[in-house]
Amino acid sequence: MASHDRFRVFGGSPLRGEVTISGAKNSVLKLMAASLLATGKTTITNVPDIADVDIMADLLTRLGCTVIRSQSQVSIDVPQTPGHRADYDLVRKMRASINVLGPLVARVGEAEVALPGGDAIGSRGLDFHIKGLEALGAKAHIEHGYVVAEAPHGLTGAVIDLDFPSVGATENIMTAAVLAKGVTTIDNAAREPDLVDLGEFLISMGANIQGLGSPTITITGVNELKPTTHATIPDRIITGTWAFAAAMTRGDITIHGARAEHLELPLEKLASAGAIVTTTADGIRVRMDVRPQAIDVATLPYPGFPTDLLPMVIALNSIADGHSLVTENVFESRFMFVNELSRLGAQISVDGHHASIEGVPELSGAPVEAHDIRAGAGLILAALVSDGESTIDQAFHVDRGYPNFAEQLQSLGAKVTRE
Ligand code: EPU
């Protein structure tokens, strides 16, 4: 995972062919963390081959688990008493590390988790996580760069009203409440499919959870959970990335294993840009023969337009016919990648959380740099529709979320190498 790795892209080829979607990063990492809730061996299938899974495996190993990865499966054997400290050197690499907090407090009665790192997309608070655990009776504070939480006598159910439907906070509260005494209600809960997958995983361990996928989740605590076997849901953001790639390059991609119902709004937006989107027996197909029409988009928590597809929609609008306005409502600094896109000739001005984009017929290849996973993918899509050669530095960001991206792009006819 060398930071000087880069993608080299020669633009101009339409992407045509078939891809198969692997398990969702933002689900599998949470499933792995939640396996801490039961002593014994939990097996997770449909695990993507991405760097973040290795980081979570290292973190769980350090907590005393035996983690075995084979092909698309990971088994996690959890000891009777796992450790309680998640160290900075691992946590800093990945935001999802914070997901061990809820399970550790519930299971071990204490947790020390370094403040997480992850992507450069803006400050990402933990106040909702901490307030939620406190409402369940834990004592929690931040000390020397760690979140320290204690509940030596166990947790007690509570009513928790989130100020914002934070995915991570809903997950940490849910994975703590499953072992709390009594009933917990989370109002204004996140509704993302990844969170529903985590809830179903917990139910298969013996948890009692109602209302998954709705804004109110009700959890009745149980004394003990048992290990389980569970298949990760397909990655909706990778699906969306291929869908945008097909439309932008005027190509034709059949995406096996994709769940169209997890991407209703992005697929509607692509259709209004001029793409032909159809469902197939096991996924979706996206085709495009004409220059895309510009589309206005505002990101919102699910079922709104996903913030993780913001770079893709800006990249598409950069070469679309017309002017568009794209608004980011979830993260404060997601537009940092616009400076990089401008190097390719995109005409974009940013004002606060709005980007105003004037489509140009073609971008022009240049060296650029990825600052986060999705920005990296968006820049690669832009490079595919640029004249000549582009390089995308800091390729490791893309590896965190997209398994074998260069090989998959090559199989669709893109001129891409990884060096
Ligand atoms: N927030 C707070 N306080 C909190 C928690 C969140 O202010 O205690 C704010 C954040 O600063 C942010 C907003 O609430 O502005 C949304 O954060 P949320 O907690 O919903 O996001 P997350 O759990 O940190 C996950 C995904 C992100 C994805 C978002 C939104 C993982 C590991 N990450 O982040 O995925 O963008 O939900 O859907 O699941 C990615 O995969 O590239 C990625 C960034």
When pLDDT is averaged across residues 399-411 and rounded to a whole number, the result is 95
pLDDT at 2 (0 to 100): 47
The residue whose CB lies within 8 Å of the most ligand 1 atoms, and thus the one to mutate among 163, 164, 334, is 164
Pairing of strands 323-327, 354-358: antiparallel
Distance 166 CA to ligand 1 centre (A): 6
Give yes or no for residue 126 CB within 6 A of ligand 1.
yes
Residue nearest to atom 32 of ligand 1 (CA): 96
When pLDDT is averaged across residues 96-122 and rounded to a whole number, the result is 85
- Answer whether 0.85 is exceeded by the pTM: yes
When pLDDT is averaged across residues 104-113 and rounded to a whole number, the result is 96
When pLDDT is averaged across residues 245-255 and rounded to a whole number, the result is 98
Q: What residue numbers does the annotated binding site cover?
A: 25-26, 95, 308, 330
Question: Model confidence over 17-36: pLDDT tens digits?
Answer: 999 999 999 999 999 999 99
Question: Of the candidates 71, 102, 96, which has an alpha carbon nearest to the alpha carbon of residue 84?
Answer: 102
Question: Of the candidates 99, 88, 186, 107, which has an alpha carbon nearest to the alpha carbon of residue 150?
Answer: 107
Q: Has residue 240 got a pLDDT over 60?
A: yes
Question: Of the candidates 334, 383, 408, 338, which has an alpha carbon nearest to the alpha carbon of residue 124?
Answer: 334
Q: How confident is the model at residue 1 (pLDDT cuts 50, 70, 90)?
A: very low
Pick the catalytic residue from 5, 52, 54, 119. Answer: 119
When pLDDT is averaged across residues 69-93 and rounded to a whole number, the result is 93
Complete domains list, the chain, with CATH: 6-18+235-418 (3.65.10.10), 27-224 (3.65.10.10)
pLDDT at 123 (0 to 100): 57
pLDDT at 336 (0 to 100): 87
The residue whose CB lies within 8 Å of the most ligand 1 atoms, and thus the one to mutate among 330, 371, 374, is 330
Determine whether 415 is exposed, middle or buried from the number of CB atoms within 10 Å of its CB (0-12, 13-18, 19+): middle
Q: Respond yes or no: is residue 87 known to be catalytic.
A: no
Q: Has residue 4 got a pLDDT over 90?
A: no
35-39, 122-126, 127-131, 140-144: least confidently modelled range: 122-126
Q: Has residue 65 got a pLDDT over 80?
A: yes
